[in-house]
Amino acid sequence: MIDHFKLDENTQAFTGHAIALFLDDDYLNKPAKEFVERIKLYGFSVQRYGNSPYIYPIYGLGGLPEGFSRLCAIHGGTYMLNKPISKILYDESGRVTGVESEGKPAYCKQLIADPSYFAGTDKIKKTGQIARCIAITSTPIKGTNSDSSQIIIPAKAVKERKTDVYASMISYHHRVAAEGKYIIVMSAVVEGKEVKEDDKKGVEATCKRELRDALGLLEKVDELFFWVTDSYEAVNDWKKDGCYISDSYDATTHFESTTTEVLQLFENISGSKIDLTIPTDPDKLADPDSLDPTGGEGGDGEGDGEGGKEKSTES
């Protein structure tokens, strides 16, 4: 299809990585259907939400766990904050039965957790490292002239890299920074020599090496914060032990891969699959409200059902 439309290498890389959000070029060797569906999702999201396919909560991502805790309480759940987990409890067959915090057990039938709770166990394996940086600046990213932006630098545009580099900018307009300030979050897979997370000088050198092209987009930098994180993936059998372990956050800053994993975890836990793909029916695409069973715009991101599909995958 790319050959048919005579897309040059730059257009192909931009479309595949910055619009379709593929993490590598493997999609070029697969059927075009998913590629087209992802492009449609991007275009549909722009059409529905203004000049960007992305939405971001005012006052930052902290609003998401706040919303979850309220919804959890409505359904009879208990939300405990600032409680350290000292031990995960299992029965004789190895199936999870609960967690222990400050000497007190909390029992469960299944456990959903990130890899940090299983450090040192055979339920996870290390997959590499991610270099990260948060910059506070007095100007937006060079050439954007905007209060927010999502930058994806394809590997083909970066010398000696195999994976993309990501930068996401938000600002005081989102109530996450002081007046006139911008926050840019940058990340990339560590492709060079790995470094210990507590090696301050090594971490800074590694981040500057891996994030060189993203750092080059910054102007009037006030502060830079560097760190490197180990990344893990689950290798346990969740059907046997009842532990549903997510992967570590990857290098992406748009949460597409995280959303995909959440959907997979939901299917594993509930046995039901949620289909959030945009329909191919032109009539439905022409009428965005036809995707929302409530008939509304669904702007708050809660309880939108099918109508919230484009937000769920692009927010």
pLDDT at 297 over 90: no
Residue 29 within a domain: yes
Q: Average the pLDDT over 281-295 and give the result.
A: 53
DSSP category for residue 3: T
Q: Which residues neighbour 24 within 8 Å (Cβ) at sequence distance 6 or greater?
A: 155, 162, 163
Domain that holds residue 166: 127-232
3-state secondary structure of 155: helix
Q: What is the pLDDT of residues 155-208, one digit of tens each?
A: 888 878 899 999 999 999 999 999 999 999 999 999 999 999 999 999 999 999
Whole-number mean pLDDT of the chain? Answer: 87
Domain total for the chain? 2
Q: Do 205 and 131 reside in the same domain of the chain? A: yes
Both 219 and 299 in one domain: the answer is no
CATH of the domain at 158: 3.30.519.10
Nearest CA among 187, 313, 194, 219 for reference residue 262: 313
**Would 113 be classed as within a structural domain?**
no
Average pLDDT for residues 214-229, to the nearest whole number?
A: 96
Per DSSP (E only), the strands in the chain are 87-90, 96-101, 104-107, 111-113, 124-137, 149-153, 165-171, 182-189, 221-234, 243-245
Report pLDDT for 230.
96
- For residue 140, give the nearest of 108, 117, 174 by alpha carbon: 174
Query: Does residue 58 register a pLDDT over 70?
Result: yes
Residue at a domain's end among 175, 199, 232: 232
- The stretch 17-30 carries a mean pLDDT of 92
Q: Is residue 294 part of a domain?
A: yes
Share of the chain above pLDDT 90, in %: 67
Give me the CATH number covering residue 296. Answer: 1.10.405
Residue type, 213: D
Q: Are residues 278 and 225 in the same domain?
A: no
For residues 132 and 226, state if they share a domain: yes
Question: Of residues 254 and 276, which shows the higher confidence score?
Answer: 254
Q: Give the pair of three-digit tokens for residue 241.
A: 């032990």
Q: Establish if 184 belongs to a structural domain.
A: yes
For residue 291, the model assigns a pLDDT of 52
Question: In this model, does residue 280 exceed pLDDT 90?
Answer: no
What pLDDT does residue 289 have?
Answer: 57
Q: What is the pLDDT of residues 107-164, one digit of tens each?
A: 999 999 999 999 999 999 999 999 999 999 999 999 888 899 999 999 888 878 899 9
Kindly state whether residue 70 falls inside one of the protein's structural domains: no
Of 210, 232, 254, the last residue of a domain is 232
287 and 227 share one domain: no
Same domain assignment for residues 168 and 217: yes
